[in-house]
Structure 1
């Protein structure tokens, strides 16, 4: 039997070759190019690119804006998705299936089409903008601002968060809440001591994915603001495209710092998960 399994395993391994080739060409090779060129300046090894970035208030502002929007949209998306996923789990089968299908479709609405839709609805002369201003409800809100970008980012974060959190609610047994109620615990107490601790690993993992999704987003922000708002992804694109100066090595250094930031976030997430499991 062992001799029969060995050829089968080799055949299965051979089927992975096309996928490994694709990963090597479109993931490993570009990452390697970025890492190498981030420490190259005029054909010499140097950390000048990183020194220029850390010493520039312009690039520090880009990271600050990206972090603010990514964190704000991830937190808002996570909170809305928690309520949405909990509600979807409690409705009947047909309504749940339709809602999940619509959520799945809306999770693919991002980039330029999403920015265009928001411009039509909430732009300077958007349909909802004119109506809300007539009623006096809009105030000084502008879609072409940090608040507007955060709103757009939150919009495309919510469907993704719902799809990620929805399976996690299967870990909660309805009998637990009934038992807690019989023991005199309120609904708030139940969620504080039972529900949220059970969902915490899924919530942390979802937040990291939403944060990474927002930090790497480019098309929606560029379609809405072009290069008028300072984000890391927009700066990388402008340096590579040569809108002002063609500096691909500086763009590579920005990309490396962005990757390092994401690795740090994942490391923190794993540490928090380990502490959560240890606490249990």
Structure 2
């Protein structure tokens, strides 16, 4: 009787979260999915056919995936090395870096775009210094390569925040035992360290991909909406004065959701595979 009462009380406390989740997560997703099937000639897959038949929309998908993949890959590699190094430094420096990562992971949008324009724009301070020193000949911040650099900036601190706790799973006595058995540094990471960290690495990579695929404010502030990525196309069709087409925007949003579902499914498959390999 007491157990049943506590269970119903827990469900009652969960009710506000369920209401908010339903109103602001499920209901908008259902609305977008429904309107993505509403085309000019009636209900159907006409919007999706137009998306995948249009080189312009396919270019937006390609750019979004390329920027998200490379910024996430660079970000997770740097975050992995940084998180490992933080375990070896003084606690005060570690606390400072973690606090700085927390701040910079949320530093996005117009302020971030403005900061990068000052530093790495055509006449940016860092760009001029690198050109005068002969390290670079030309750099275009407003290109795909420039956006990868920009995205990587806020991917690294987010990756550090997500990966740093994962190193708690690595026990120091495992390293000592491996050394006593004759394993070198590389063999320890190949057979023990990386398999233990694989779930955290894959999960962090998926989160970084989602973070980059959905980024809008920074790329819009930097390029004023002139670079072709999915969030820019969706926003232009929802709030644009000329090409207002919320149904096509819904179809593009569902394509974005589909990409994330594919990435998440691949993530789950790799997790199961790494688990069986580890066993």
Match of 1:101 among 96, 99, 102: 99
1:41 positional shift: 1.6
* C-alpha distance in 2 between matches for 1:166 and 1:244: 47
Output one character per residue of 1:179-216: Cα deviation in whole Å (capped at 9) or x when no partner: 32333322122211211111111101110110011001
Output one character per residue of 1:207-253: Cα deviation in whole Å (capped at 9) or x when no partner: 01100110011111111112221101100011111243111000100
Q: Secondary structure at the match of 1:124?
A: coil
Residue 259 of structure 1 aligns with which residue? 257
1:16 positional shift: 2.6
Moved more, 73-82 or 42-51: 42-51
Residue 177 of structure 1 aligns with which residue? 175
* Number of residue pairs aligned between Structure 1 and Structure 2: 278
Match of 1:212 among 206, 210, 216: 210
Contact 2:131/2:137, CA 8 A, preserved across alignment: yes
Output one character per residue of 1:33-74: Cα deviation in whole Å (capped at 9) or x when no partner: 100000012482111000000100111111000000000000
**TM-score (normalised: structure 1):** 0.94
1:144 positional shift: 1.0
Moved more, 227-236 or 5-14: 5-14
* C-alpha distance in 1 between matches for 2:41 and 2:18: 31
Moved more, 167-176 or 217-226: 167-176
* C-alpha distance in 2 between matches for 1:207 and 1:54: 27
* C-alpha distance in 1 between matches for 2:45 and 2:92: 58
1:21 positional shift: 2.2
Q: Secondary structure at the match of 2:108?
A: coil
The correspondence of residues 230-269 of structure 1 with structure 2, limited to 5 A, is: 230-269=228-267
* C-alpha distance in 2 between matches for 1:129 and 1:99: 26
Contact 2:116/2:150, CA 8 A, preserved across alignment: yes
Contact 2:101/2:161, CA 8 A, preserved across alignment: yes
1:117 positional shift: 1.0
Label 1:43 to 1:24 Cα distance change in 2 as closer, same or farther (>3 A). farther
* C-alpha distance in 1 between matches for 2:166 and 2:70: 23
Task: Give structure 1 regions of 4+ aligned residues with deviation exceeding 4 angstroms.
Answer: none
Match of 2:110 among 112, 116, 140: 112
* C-alpha distance in 2 between matches for 1:159 and 1:244: 38
**TM-score (normalised: structure 2):** 0.95
* C-alpha distance in 2 between matches for 1:134 and 1:118: 19
* C-alpha distance in 2 between matches for 1:108 and 1:274: 32
* C-alpha distance in 2 between matches for 1:176 and 1:5: 41
The correspondence of residues 30-45 of structure 1 with structure 2, limited to 5 A, is: 30-42=28-40, 44-45=42-43
* C-alpha distance in 1 between matches for 2:39 and 2:183: 64
Match of 1:61 among 34, 56, 59: 59
* C-alpha distance in 1 between matches for 2:88 and 2:114: 34
RMSD over aligned Cα atoms: 1.5
Q: Secondary structure at the match of 2:87?
A: helix
